[in-house]
């Protein structure tokens, strides 16, 4: 017979005291086998801070869910042993697992459609078990895009992800973490990811997508549906249009699904941004180039239905340029980005039109990726940029048109771009970029917007989008 293990229940008060004894035993063993003990584990006082308040922090997590949270058990054991870097790694693993679980239970196909706009390498994903192929940064960005995570909570979780990459056991480092930091990160992950629930508007999107795929929607309902969709955030409208386009051009979609989309998509098209319209138009050229006749014909029909034939691609370079920008974007947010960006930055040259003018379909992504890479994250002796890639970024920025400069101003609304601007080096670099653009462009409204960037108080640019002056100047920028 298997021996039954007796589990002894210990509360936080009884666990705090023996930490010193455990630490002494571990240090004694390390000395005995000849391993170092200095600067290996967190101080006992820091461990006690976390253990003493852990139970309160976990109150937000239902008991039934705690029984499945294996990484949180490992987190707690690592805290008690003083391995804060390992604990942070376990905490992030539990957070990622929770986000993946939410995505799968919400609408995995909708998420993959949005993820494809983050990186084209996800366009072949379709099954729930493939969710782990989406990188952690892109998972978080995708959750923000579909509304599972708000912009503010995205920044909170992105900070935990950054610290996990630079201060946890995931990668070699010498950074120290204190107890209150660990408690703060635990609270952020528990509240805004592990126990988070989608808001009502997102649940409506989920139900609508399910109905589009599975039932015939009465034509009388189209106007009501579209009126409600128009109230969604702009980014979500754009992503929803891309999802509709993906379902419509999928050769496995049923005819009733295409009929539903033909009834809804014209109004969604009107509410979408010009950038998304040009992106969809650019797909026609890509499909034609790849010989995907059925999808190309479906794309043609979709553009006819929404009145978007004028948005067809300028040429096939737009799709090629977008793909290379995605590679550069991925390298920037990956590990060792200071060394891996250069070949992608250089490769962009080959896809630029002879005129040097960026195709309209690629303009927004062009400005975003080049600006993010030029500004950098502010960490390391390289100022958070790839020094080999920097001459390319400078050259591309020097050729920014007035339209590109307007897209640069709009970047301050994007958390992914604005988040690093709370640090001094990115703060300085983005002001230098704005000064460069101001010297080249004369439009009075654009000059005023660039001045707001240049003269804002130090390390406040991450919140510039929320100031009255900035909100007033943006609507007057040239189209």
pLDDT in tens, the chain (479 residues): 445 555 444 454 555 556 667 777 777 777 777 777 777 788 888 888 888 888 888 888 888 888 888 889 899 888 888 888 889 999 999 999 999 999 999 999 999 999 998 988 998 999 999 999 999 999 999 999 998 998 889 999 999 998 888 877 666 666 788 889 999 999 999 998 998 887 777 878 889 999 999 999 999 999 888 988 888 889 999 999 999 999 999 999 999 999 999 999 999 999 999 989 988 988 888 888 888 999 999 999 999 999 988 788 777 678 878 989 999 999 998 877 777 899 999 999 877 876 678 888 899 999 999 999 999 988 766 677 888 999 999 999 999 999 999 999 999 999 999 999 999 999 999 999 999 999 999 999 999 999 999 999 999 999 999 999 999 999 999 97
Contact between 298 and 249 (Cβ < 8 Å) = yes
- Residues sharing a CB contact under 8 Å with residue 185, sequence separation 6 or more, in sequence order: 88, 91, 160, 163
Q: How many CB atoms lie within 10 A of CB 376?
A: 24
Tokens standing for residue 295 = 């999808």
Find tokens 């959750």 and name the residue.
143
* Alpha carbon 266 to its chain's center: 28
In 3D, which of 141, 114, 170, 464 has the Cα closest to residue 332? 141
CA distances from 336 to 166, 323, 380 (A): 11, 21, 11
pLDDT of residue 11: 52
Contact between 325 and 366 (Cβ < 8 Å) = yes
For residue 100, the number of C-alpha atoms closer than 13 Å in the C-beta half-sphere is: 17
- Cα(10)–Cα(467) distance, integer angstroms: 51
Helices (H) and strands (E) in the chain, counts: 25, 0
pLDDT of residue 425: 92
Contact between 251 and 295 (Cβ < 8 Å) = yes
Tokens standing for residue 270 = 């009107």
In 3D, which of 164, 144, 166, 165 has the Cα closest to residue 154? 144
CA distances from 131 to 112, 126, 138, 254, 299 (A): 9, 9, 11, 25, 27
pLDDT of residue 62: 86
- Cα(472)–Cα(474) distance, integer angstroms: 6
For residue 42, the number of C-alpha atoms closer than 13 Å in the C-beta half-sphere is: 30
Tokens standing for residue 13 = 């008060």
Q: What is the DSSP string of 246-273?
A: HHHH-TTS-HHHHHHHHHHHHHHHHHS-
Contacts of 41-45 spanning 24+ positions with Cβ under 8 A: 41/81, 41/82, 41/83, 42/82, 42/83, 42/84, 42/176, 42/177, 42/178, 42/179, 43/82, 44/19, 44/20, 44/82, 45/179
For residue 274, the number of C-alpha atoms closer than 13 Å in the C-beta half-sphere is: 9
pLDDT of residue 81: 85
pLDDT of residue 10: 46
């Amino acid at each position: 017979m298997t021996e039954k293990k007796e589990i002894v229940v210990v509360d936080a008060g009884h666990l705090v005291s023996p930490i010193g004894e455990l630490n002494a035993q571990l240090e004694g063993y390390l000395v005995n086998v000849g391993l170092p003990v200095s600067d290996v584990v967190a101080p006992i006082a820091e461990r006690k801070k976390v253990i003493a308040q852990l139970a309160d922090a976990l109150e937000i997590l239902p008991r039934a869910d705690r029984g499945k949270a294996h990484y949180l058990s490992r987190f707690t054991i690592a805290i008690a042993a003083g391995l804060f870097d390992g604990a942070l790694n376990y905490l992030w693993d539990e957070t990622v697992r929770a986000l993946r679980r939410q995505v799968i239970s919400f609408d995995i196909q909708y998420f993959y459609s949005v993820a494809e706009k983050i990186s084209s390498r996800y366009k072949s994903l379709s099954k729930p078990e493939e969710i782990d192929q989406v990188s952690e940064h892109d998972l978080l960005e995708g959750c923000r895009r579909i509304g599972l995570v708000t912009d503010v909570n995205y920044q909170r979780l992105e900070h935990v992800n950054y610290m996990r990459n630079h201060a946890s056991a995931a990668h070699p480092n010498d950074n120290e973490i204190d107890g209150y930091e660990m408690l703060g990160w635990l609270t952020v992950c528990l509240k805004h990811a592990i126990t988070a629930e989608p808001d009502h508007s997102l649940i409506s999107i989920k139900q609508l997508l399910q109905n589009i795929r599975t039932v015939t929607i009465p034509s009388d309902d189209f106007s009501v549906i579209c009126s409600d969709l128009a109230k969604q955030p702009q980014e979500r409208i754009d992503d929803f249009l891309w999802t509709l386009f993906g379902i419509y051009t999928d050769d496995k979609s049923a005819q009733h699904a295409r009929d539903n989309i033909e009834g809804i998509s014209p109004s969604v098209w009107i509410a979408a941004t010009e950038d998304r319209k040009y992106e969809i138009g650019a797909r026609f050229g890509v499909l034609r180039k790849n010989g995907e006749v059925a999808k190309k014909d479906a794309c043609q029909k979709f553009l006819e239905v929404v009145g978007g034939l004028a948005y067809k691609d300028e040429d096939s370079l737009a799709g090629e340029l977008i793909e290379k920008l995605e590679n550069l974007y991925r390298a920037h947010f990956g590990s060792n980005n200071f060394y891996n960006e250069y070949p992608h930055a250089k490769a962009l040259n080959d896809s630029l039109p002879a005129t040097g003018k960026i195709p309209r379909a690629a303009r927004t992504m062009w400005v975003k990726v080049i600006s993010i890479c030029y500004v950098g994250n502010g960490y390391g002796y390289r100022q958070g940029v790839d020094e080999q890639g920097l001459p390319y970024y400078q050259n591309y920025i020097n050729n920014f048109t007035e339209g590109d400069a307007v897209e640069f101003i709009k970047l301050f609304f994007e958390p992914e771009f604005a988040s690093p601007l709370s640090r001094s080096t990115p703060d300085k670099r983005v002001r230098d970029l704005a000064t460069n653009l101001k010297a080249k462009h004369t439009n009075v409204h654009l000059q005023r917007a660039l001045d707001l960037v240049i003269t804002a108080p130090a390390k406040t640019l991450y919140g510039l989008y929320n100031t009255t002056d900035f909100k007033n100047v943006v609507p007057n920028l040239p189209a």
